[in-house]
Amino acid sequence: MVGRRKLLLCGALAALTLLFCGGALAAPAGASSGRLHFKPTVLKRAGGEPNVSISPSGKNVLVDGLDGSPPATLYRSTDHGRTFTKLHPNFDGQAGGGDWDMRWLNNHAVIAADLSIGSGIYIHRSTDAGRHWTTTSIDTDQYDRPWIDHFGRKRVYVVAKGFDNIPYLFRSTDGGKSFGTPPVPLIVYGIPGQGGPDPGGAFGTNWNAYVDHLTVDPHSGAVYVLYGIDDANTYSLTQPLGAANHEYIARLEHGQMISREVYIGGPKASFLAGFNWLTVDRHGTLYALLNGRTHGRWSTRLVYSRDKGRTWSSPTDLGKRHGSNVYGSIAAGKPGVLSLIYLRGTKRDPSKPQAWYAEMARVSHASTARPRLIRDRPMAKPMHLKDICFDGIVCGAPGFGTDRNLLDYIWNAVDSHGRAYGVFSSDGPATHSNNSQTPDVVVLRQNGGPRHGHGGPS
């Protein structure tokens, strides 16, 4: 549940009115021939903010949702995602439940990061595919949503924003059993003046600083963190809390983080509150999905880098025209091919009540100026009928919606056989639910159409 932002009475005083909106206009993506097919599995009342993680063999699949039972509601498939059974693990009282991120270390071992209130970040480890867990913690601060990834079985990385709004990276060399005594993190921004945000924005007026995603290249071990921060020009009378309009990537190089620009938006740009995605293909090409508003349009836009994040392409809009496209997530398959999931709204403004649909797409030629998409809407009925709020505890403030029943995030992955998966929460007609209930989790498993190539770890 991202978005524990500090409320500032002085935010409106920082408003600036600028004529320049900044950034290049996003080019539209093209359509491709063929059809995709997905089989949905509904996990009733499993909660919001779902996650899907697939073992290297593709046989074991874990799915979770947040339904109020800490740390998460866990379901497991042992037949390549065809059927799921609810797990009932015991965490011996060491469970937060605010957020959950998980990764398979091999076909049996899983590691997860779990946000707590008052005990830092819990690190859970399982060696029997999620049935039983042991727990340690990174307890040096109160953190926002943690992300976890790994290289091999021993190197584990955790990144999260601290109470001071500064993002930190923690490292383990023993498979997540420990992160130092005490844990000593790296500041994700890196050394001021080396390509990241200016020191004043990074360490002073950083009220809209968010960690978007953590990705480790499974072939080279390179560690990347995508993050966003605001500029003072985003504060206005209509948006008194500002918005994250500058996106950066930090790479771990020789023991320190080095930041570089991904996209610098103008005063009316908003990349939401940490809901942007990062993935890497087998050739080392990086892809970032920027979810938010630029030039008055809410959509999901793709940028890529072929030089380890040093330079980035102009954004390409992957969303359909008209309406709105939000909460996009990407996962890499073979070089140049991505799986995409996003929520499609019938109105241009996501903060208005409307019908929302989950859509999947296969993106080919992803590292070119004109990617090609094959789309599918696996469920004909809408999965949500109200607005969508993107910013946690400030939902209802000017510039944001009010409904947060789905919580935050949707997720996707590609297994080792090239089969795409997507997960989203539904409280609408698609699952015979309604907005007053704990939402259901829907697992989409590809069962037809062109595959995506060997997927990366998830």
* DSSP result, 326-338: EEEEEEE-STT-E
CB neighbours of residue 117 within 10 Å? 10
Give the whole-angstrom CA distance, residue 300 versus residue 323.
12
* Identity at 14, one-letter amino acid code: A
Query: pLDDT category, 242, cuts 50, 70, 90?
Result: confident
- Local confidence band at 283 (pLDDT 50, 70, 90 cut-offs): very high
Q: CA 338, 257, 125: angle at the middle one, nearest 5?
A: 65
Is the pLDDT at 286 greater than 60? The verdict is yes
Distance CA 409, CA 98 (A): 13
SS3 category, 124: strand
| Interval 156-175: pLDDT, tens | 999 999 988 899 999 999 99
What is the C-alpha to C-alpha distance for residues 147 and 277, in angstroms, rounded to an integer? Answer: 12
Measured CA to CA, the distance from residue 107 to residue 211 in angstroms comes to: 28
- The pLDDT assigned to 399 comes to 63
SS3 for 394? helix
The whole-angstrom separation of Cα 338 and Cα 413 is: 9
3-state secondary structure of 301: strand
- Nearest alpha carbon to residue 188 among 211, 205, 156: 211
**Residue 23 in tokens:** 């950034």
Provide the mean pLDDT of the chain.
Answer: 89
Q: Does residue 16 carry a pLDDT above 70? A: no
Give the pLDDT confidence of 312-346 residue by residue, as tens digits.
Answer: 999 999 999 999 999 999 999 999 999 999 999 99
Structure tokens at 253: 């190089």
Identify the pLDDT of residue 61: 98
